[in-house]
Structure 1
Amino acid sequence: MKEQFMESHSSMPQLGAGTFRLKDDVAYNSVKDALEVGYRHIDTAQIYENEEAVGRALKDSGINRDELFVTTKVWNNKLNSKDFLPSLKESLEKLQLSYVDLLLIHWPSPENGESMEEYLGELAKAKAQGLTRHIGVSNFTIAHLEEAQQILGKGEIFTNQVEVHPHLTNDKLRAYCTVNDIHITGYMPFAVGKVLKDETVIQIAEKYEVSPAEVVIAWELGHGLATIPSSTKRENLATNLKGASLTLAIEDMDAIDKLNRNEREATPDFSPEWD
């Protein structure tokens, strides 16, 4: 199962299991089930308040550490030289890991207005100290990425994790990232279930005799993106995983591309001015 979707950007499995909005035993069971059905890429964050549950599931799985790819993200109130590294070390304790595979700045929205130079400097330190294998960002616009590359240097940003789904194809940002060799990880691929009810997606699913979820996963992966859907149901986790084996015809990829409505689900009041 693993070999089926391990071809990826510098060893990151392109299909991962997200844990947004999952807490306590729900988060534990989701990660446990995900690992049991074949996922090896698990995504969490400090603000999700589930790192401890995720860590227990990782440990209880008995899977070798080098087979896992674990991502966490530093929250807005820790984006300063005093709190950044201590918060990461606390995350590692909760995850029961000595390092994460990928550490992200969750939003370019420091609570106290710290400069990007300050918090990206701390991000670079985390990598230099071996607390993370790779560093990246999340919810960064083109302008943010321009500044970040000036600070970190070209090639240091492993991924930009942003919302991407058939109703928000994020073409301008994706094109910029392609030119600048910044990988995209698309979150909320189902737009909280909305795209699974889209008539075009349903018709394509019927054509291939698969679920709408598999079609959406195949569309994301077909564009070279990573994606991290979440589910509390083992059968849905397994179904999502099947999407990694599906290849859509060009005309079906194009039909899904045309569903873009620029409808964004993640819009907190501290969001940047989107591209």
Structure 2
Amino acid sequence: MSIPQIELLDGHRIPQLGYGVFKVPADDAERAVSEALEIGYRHIDTAAIYGNEEGVGKAIAASGIARDELYVTTKLWNDRHDGDEPDAAIAESLERLGLDFVDLYLVHWPTPARDNYVHAWQKLVGIRERALTRSIGVSNFLVPHLERIVAETGVTPVVNQIELHPAYQQRDVVQWCTQHGVHIEAWGPLGQGKYDLFGTPAVAQAAEAVDRTAAQVVLRWHLQKGNIIFPKSVRAERLRENIAVFDFELTDDQVAAIDALDPGDGSGRVSAHPEEMN
């Protein structure tokens, strides 16, 4: 199985599909990640706040897979932006993961009420310069946050990891990122099961037409939009289903029908708003 690789602004490459461990319990993470690696996943997305970096690290160590064949992301949590806290945080994450470096380190949320995300971003630049991460990016940043960090540091993130699914496509953020060479990572790519995405005619009819599951259709829609995705599951059969999305394509009309599921008024958001997450 060949998962497409996307070239980032800094020249590094990232697998377009990976395995996300959001809400995977700490005591189950090692098993879940081990299964994902056995199935063929090579891109693992975790975060300090998930509480499962240690399990991810144990699975990586036990896998026997060469480090240069793996892509590992983790994230800086909201209460670690000030002072030298980002330096301490990456050191702790690396220790838990059992790694010398991660491939991608993200500012998890901008926390605008604290007004310290520019400092956090400057610290990530230093972390990259010390080779503790190969690439740096952000998560949940809106256009004003993106504009500010670039204006004040001159450094553009390689990715912005945002809530993105058919009912909530954040077109203004995507447009800014596209214009500036920032790749979109879509978290919650299936809407976290919080609305009947799979029952919509656009998805259901496409699934019938291509003889695939509704989930596979939505993941394929993301891939054809150029999004980087890491659907989460703790079940091996679902892990296999989620990765079996590279041998079919949706038509332009099928993609357009799913595009039209976003009402455009922001009502499709299923998680926290970045202005309110502090």
Q: TM-score range by the shorter chain?
A: over 0.9
Q: For 2:269, give the aligned amino acid.
A: R
- Aligned-residue offset at 1:244: 3.2
Find the aligned partners of 1:205 and 1:26 in 2 and give their Cα distance: 31
Partner of 1:183: 183
Structure 1-normalised TM-score?
Answer: 0.93
- The question of whether the paired residues in 1 share the 8 Å contact of 2:112 and 2:275 is answered with no
- Aligned-residue offset at 1:107: 0.2
Q: For 2:152, give the aligned amino acid.
A: I
- Aligned-residue offset at 1:203: 1.4
1:183-227 residue CA offsets vs partner (Å, 9 max, x unmatched): 100000111123233332121111000111111111011011101
- The question of whether the paired residues in 2 share the 8 Å contact of 1:104 and 1:135 is answered with yes
Find the aligned partners of 1:209 and 1:5 in 2 and give their Cα distance: 22
Partner of 1:142: 143
- The question of whether the paired residues in 2 share the 8 Å contact of 1:46 and 1:72 is answered with yes
Q: For 1:267, give the aligned amino acid.
A: A
Aligned to 2:271, which of 241, 257, 266? 266
Aligned to 1:99, which of 84, 87, 101? 101
Q: For 2:275, give the aligned amino acid.
A: P
Q: For 1:48, give the aligned amino acid.
A: Y
1:71 is aligned to 2:73: yes
Aligned residues: 269
Question: Please, which runs of 5 or more residues in structure 2 have no aligned partner?
Answer: none
- The question of whether the paired residues in 1 share the 8 Å contact of 2:139 and 2:162 is answered with yes
Find the aligned partners of 1:204 and 1:185 in 2 and give their Cα distance: 23
Q: For 1:134, give the aligned amino acid.
A: S
- The question of whether the paired residues in 1 share the 8 Å contact of 2:140 and 2:161 is answered with yes
Tell me the SS of whatever aligns to 1:196: coil
Q: 1:244 to 1:151 in 2, by over 3 A?
A: farther
Q: For 1:266, give the aligned amino acid.
A: S
- Aligned-residue offset at 1:169: 1.3
Find the aligned partners of 2:118 and 2:256 in 1 and give their Cα distance: 39
Find the aligned partners of 2:103 and 2:153 in 1 and give their Cα distance: 18
- The question of whether the paired residues in 1 share the 8 Å contact of 2:163 and 2:186 is answered with yes
Q: For 2:87, give the aligned amino acid.
A: L
Structure 2-normalised TM-score?
Answer: 0.92
| CA RMSD, 1 decimal | 1.7
Partner of 1:174: 174
- The question of whether the paired residues in 2 share the 8 Å contact of 1:164 and 1:170 is answered with yes
Partner of 1:6: 5
Structure 1 residue ranges (4+ consecutive) displaced by more than 6 angstroms after TM superposition: none
- Aligned-residue offset at 1:273: 6.9
- The question of whether the paired residues in 1 share the 8 Å contact of 2:19 and 2:41 is answered with yes
Aligned to 1:82, which of 74, 84, 87? 84
- The question of whether the paired residues in 1 share the 8 Å contact of 2:207 and 2:214 is answered with yes
1:98-128 residue CA offsets vs partner (Å, 9 max, x unmatched): 00000000000178x2533321111111101
Find the aligned partners of 1:87 and 1:264 in 2 and give their Cα distance: 29
Listed as ranges, the matches of 1:198-213 within 5 Å are 198-213=200-215
Find the aligned partners of 1:123 and 1:216 in 2 and give their Cα distance: 33
Percent identity between the aligned chains?
A: 38
